[in-house]
Amino acid sequence: MILTTIIAEARRRNLRRLTLEATRMRPVFYLRHGFVAVREKAAAV
């Protein structure tokens, strides 16, 4: 899985933080992988 590979590479490089922007449709997916919601961003329509 791409996300698991990205997380593993970040750990290998001793990165302390990863950030991403997720759609409202998939927040649970990212929460399950250890990400934390910080704020909501309004999307331009």
Q: What is the DSSP string of 1-45?
A: -HHHHHHHHHHHTT---------TT-HHHHHHTT-------PPP-
Model confidence pTM above 0.85: no
Residues sharing a CB contact under 8 Å with residue 37, sequence separation 6 or more, in sequence order: 27, 31
Determine the pLDDT at residue 41.
Answer: 80
* pLDDT tens by residue, 2-45: 999 999 999 999 999 999 888 777 788 888 988 988 888 877 77
Q: Please give the distance of CA 31 from its chain centroid, rounded to a whole number.
A: 8
Tokens standing for residue 6: 């990205």
Determine the pLDDT at residue 10.
Answer: 96
